């Protein structure tokens, strides 16, 4: 499993010197979570965005019937947060859980303000990240509402190429909004089509 550095992520996307970024990111809080440990849970107010340097996270909710609904996975080099909680100071509805031993950088609003002040290009980059996340969430909602399970699965594989090998099939099914049996049928049908 490849390890990513928050500093190298910013350096490669902002076209600035590593030393300039390192001076800013060295004070960022980093934390390691054990497999299955919760980073966050419903009822708490989220004050951070998590950048995954190593490991894998899922964000999910549990409905009144006890069924899990996975909103997203966050492998290395991805961000995860409850934006409603962070930006509107609302108690969260979500669990955020490490699926493997996971190292994250905790990014708060103060750090973002400092980056925007010291590196003006970060404001546009951060705005692009936010709009990209909105775009992905809109596409995800549209897929859940209107796409066949097969299309949802293929989109999942494209978005999360290595996650399939790292999580149980029941979690993939939860993300897709289908049963594990339905996922098994989709995979068999795709395998059959690929043999033709």
Q: Which two tokens stand for residue 186?
A: 């989709």
The predicted pLDDT at position 85 comes to: 92
The predicted pLDDT at position 156 comes to: 96
Is residue 183 within 8 A of residue 171, CB to CB? The reply is no
pTM of the model: 0.92
Extract the residue ranges of the chain whose pLDDT is less than 50: 1
The class (CATH top level) of 6-120 is: mainly beta
The predicted pLDDT at position 176 comes to: 97
Q: Which two tokens stand for residue 32?
A: 């390691």
Q: What is the 3-state secondary structure (H, E, C) of 37-86?
A: CEEECCCCECCCEEEEEECCEEEEEECCCCCEEEEEEECCCCEECCHHHH
Torsional class of 55: left (φ above 0), alpha (ψ -120 to 50), beta (otherwise): left
Please state the domain extents for the chain.
Answer: 6-120
The predicted pLDDT at position 179 comes to: 95
């Amino acid at each position: 499993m490849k390890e990513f550095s928050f500093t190298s992520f910013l350096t490669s996307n902002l076209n600035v010197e590593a030393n300039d970024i390192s001076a800013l990111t060295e004070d960022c809080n980093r934390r390691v979570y054990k497999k299955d440990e919760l980073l966050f849970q419903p009822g708490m107010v989220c004050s951070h965005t998590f950048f995954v340097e190593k490991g894998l996270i899922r964000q999910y909710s549990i409905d009144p019937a006890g069924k899990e609904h996975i909103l997203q996975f966050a492998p290395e080099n991805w961000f995860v947060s409850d934006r409603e909680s962070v930006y509107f100071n609302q108690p969260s509805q979500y669990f955020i859980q490490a699926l493997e031993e996971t190292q994250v950088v905790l990014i708060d609003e103060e750090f973002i303000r400092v980056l925007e002040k010291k590196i003006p290009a970060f404001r546009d980059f951060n705005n692009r990240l936010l709009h990209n996340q909105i775009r992905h969430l809109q596409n995800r909602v549209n897929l859940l509402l209107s796409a066949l399970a097969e299309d949802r699965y293929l989109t999942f594989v494209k978005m999360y190429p290595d996650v399939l090998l790292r999580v149980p099939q029941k979690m993939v099914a939860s993300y897709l909004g289908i049963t594990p049996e339905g996922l098994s049928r989709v995979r068999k049908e795709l395998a059959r089509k690929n043999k033709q």
